[in-house]
A and B are shown apart, each in its own frame.
Chain A
């Protein structure tokens, strides 16, 4: 059974800092991995999808890396802004007979102060 751990559970930083959010998973037989953002009281928004054959994926100030063999992914946020405040969740996507099933971590709650 896939288990996903996100560290830290919460992070509070001043505006402008570069951030690192960590995600680890126990089953490395994944199809891909997705990072999501969730604002309070809202649904999830997909940020980045990184294929199992990729090492990195970038979108604007966001960069996600994936080390499938060691079961780790990292989300980098450059030059953080107050608008980045949200909960960030990672979710490896299963392959094989469980293709398409996502397992979510508990998330990292990010607060960026002006």
Chain B
């Protein structure tokens, strides 16, 4: 049982480049989330999804896009990367919005 997996683990981007962070869960969870965590800070919600085809903005969505075409996958797209997007990105899922959240190991992104 893999749980929540994220790829890549690390990435360095140049300013203006684009990339997609991948997230997959194998627990048949309906809810999926993307967070970012800056050094010494808590997590901030970027986007979340309550099911395939349904996404909504969180607290800090600017500069990001998401899609949810399947229950398992919830990719996060960064367009025109900026240094302010240097952070650790976590994907999470839960069966129900009020249920226990399971987190992936994170992707450490540096934009220079």
| Residues of chain A having any CB pair with chain B under 8 Å | 4, 31-32, 34, 36, 42-46, 49, 89, 91, 93, 95, 99-107
A66 and B47 CA atoms in complex are apart in Å by 27
A107 proximity list for chain B (CB < 8 A): 42
B31 proximity list for chain A (CB < 8 A): 100
A101 and B50 CA atoms in complex are apart in Å by 10
A103 and B8 CA atoms in complex are apart in Å by 25
- Are the CB atoms of B45 and A100 closer together than 8 Å? no
A101 and B33 CA atoms in complex are apart in Å by 9
Tell me the nearest residue of chain A to B45, going by C-beta: A101
A58 and B100 CA atoms in complex are apart in Å by 15
Surface stretch bound by A, among B12-20, B60-68, B75-83, B101-109: B101-109
Tell me if B98 is interfacial: C-beta within 8 Å of chain A.
yes
- Are the CB atoms of B58 and A89 closer together than 8 Å? no
B94 proximity list for chain A (CB < 8 A): 100
- Are the CB atoms of B40 and A99 closer together than 8 Å? no
The residue in A43, A45, A95, A105 that gathers the most chain B C-beta atoms within 10 A of its C-beta is A43
- Are the CB atoms of B42 and A104 closer together than 8 Å? yes
Q: Give the residue of B58, B59, B99, B104 whose beta carbon is less than 8 angstroms from that of A43.
A: B104
Q: How many residues of B contact A (CB 8 A)?
A: 28
A50 and B33 CA atoms in complex are apart in Å by 20
- Are the CB atoms of A32 and B98 closer together than 8 Å? yes
- Are the CB atoms of A89 and B42 closer together than 8 Å? yes
- Are the CB atoms of B43 and A34 closer together than 8 Å? no
B65 CB → nearest A CB, Å: 19
A36 proximity list for chain B (CB < 8 A): 101, 103
Tell me if B74 is interfacial: C-beta within 8 Å of chain A.
no
- Are the CB atoms of A106 and B97 closer together than 8 Å? no
**Residues A100 and B48 in contact in the complex (CB < 8 Å), given A43-B105, A89-B42:** yes
- Are the CB atoms of A105 and B98 closer together than 8 Å? no
**Residues A43 and B98 in contact in the complex (CB < 8 Å), given A89-B43, A102-B45, A104-B43:** no
Tell me the nearest residue of chain B to A30, going by C-beta: B98
Q: Give the residue of A32, A93, A95, A101 whose beta carbon is less than 8 angstroms from that of B58.
A: A101
A83 and B56 CA atoms in complex are apart in Å by 38
